[in-house]
Structure 1
């Protein structure tokens, strides 16, 4: 099958980019012809090494640039002749829709950021992939017919991005509590800070590490700097690969207020962290509905503090939740994501088109 992915860029530190790159490389490795049209970025060298073709497509949201991008995409599609087009963001779907209509190609879209109002534009696809059951329900409520919706839960284990990665745990002061993610309000970091304060009142040796960058980084640094526990918190900043920090951590906390299907959870589970996550969006699904991680209500520092204490007070309980993080972990592989996505392509008509092309 010839598969064309479209996304706004290929830079690191964006979950939808990681998911699309993982999928494209896995598809290429399994024998398909794969290309990515994007604004380019950090992963282009990796894509080239994996044999995934790349072409530049400007996603700037201005009329003139969008017209130029439509022309460029139409030209590339006519020359490369994909069997299916897979758009991963709203601008990508808007660009792909008319080109697919003119070319008679099936368009598949993936809803990565269901919390955005513009996510309804992903309904332009012949088939719409939701990255969790929670996202599928959200899109159904927005009017996308169930017959056009499919669910493919995110997973990263086995990704080409991680081959040859450093698996040496970072030496952290124990007990160590870790957050990995963007510094945005929807990630709920103030709740984690307040929950950490509750736990540290009883465990003054506890340490909190914050990995990630974003527009609110300086705000959160200032917030923590005024707190009595400031010396126990380390802001690491953005990292290309936070996995060694997960390997070195005892507990990972994800206090999100909205999170469709965060990739960090499959990585943290692979690393063997005990995990605390909020009961929002796809987080429960990635934690086996509470069997592989402790679930707490969102916007509840008290619940986060109590969950931390349940682990810090009892080393055996901490060890048990680290063990439980491995429950059904084989379901979080990129191979499973690839196979289920290919099935969506076939349901959209790509298999028939590919078969006709093979006969010609």
Structure 2
């Protein structure tokens, strides 16, 4: 008992009182336990409620807000209303006199139109450039300044394209090169194609080739209207070369807006009208490449029939033995010609 009382009253080296229970207890069991960090049970409920509120707001916005573009980017530009300029009647007499004199001075260099002449505006669908061409009341021949007969032009979504005139006039006749003293024997017709893409090469062809040689222009180039007008002004006959699908397309590509066998007739006609609108004054169309396309009657038929209804001829360049152009032209009663000799099939210097 005396020994127990001594132990109960004894202290350890740090000054803490030590009891018998402390001496008999296992080591390490008396340490205070650390409190672990726990997430209050209320936090997940708050997060779930916030997410549910966001979903509800988005659903209400989709139902109530009219957004026909479905979230696509939309550009909004302010439109400012401008007050119209004062008319001549509202301007003082002195201002009217100054304006009239200024207009007269600026218009002095322009030549007065011929009596009975009319002006047709041709819009280049590729560049948007406008060109005013003066035409007379009577049909103009191919050698008359390269003018365009307004009776043979109609508007389309692609631009101005050929059409048969109200009096039955056709581009194949009006724009044909006039021939005098036609011999009774065999004749030779030569067409040089691929013009228009290079202004330099086209200029050399116009300078060196005789006027009797027919020129084929592709619908590509920056100055087609001027070059064609120059050629027709020199008495040359013009043919539009329409890009058509070759067998190795797209490795061998005829160019933008190529007519393809994989497209619908409506799509190919839209591309045909695009090519037709590049310039005016041609007697007909010809294939530019197109070995695969000219061999497919379902694709080629609507194109040739549309050209025939517009008063144009069709010229097959003779490069494909599989072409069915002659059969389609015969069934459609369309003016048709086919080359039987290809000059410079392998270009030589």
Q: Which of the five TM-score ranges fits, normalised by the shorter chain? A: under 0.3
TM-score scaled to structure 2, two decimals?
0.24
Q: Structure 1-normalised TM-score? A: 0.24
Structure number with greater CO (CA < 8 Å, separation at least 6) is 1
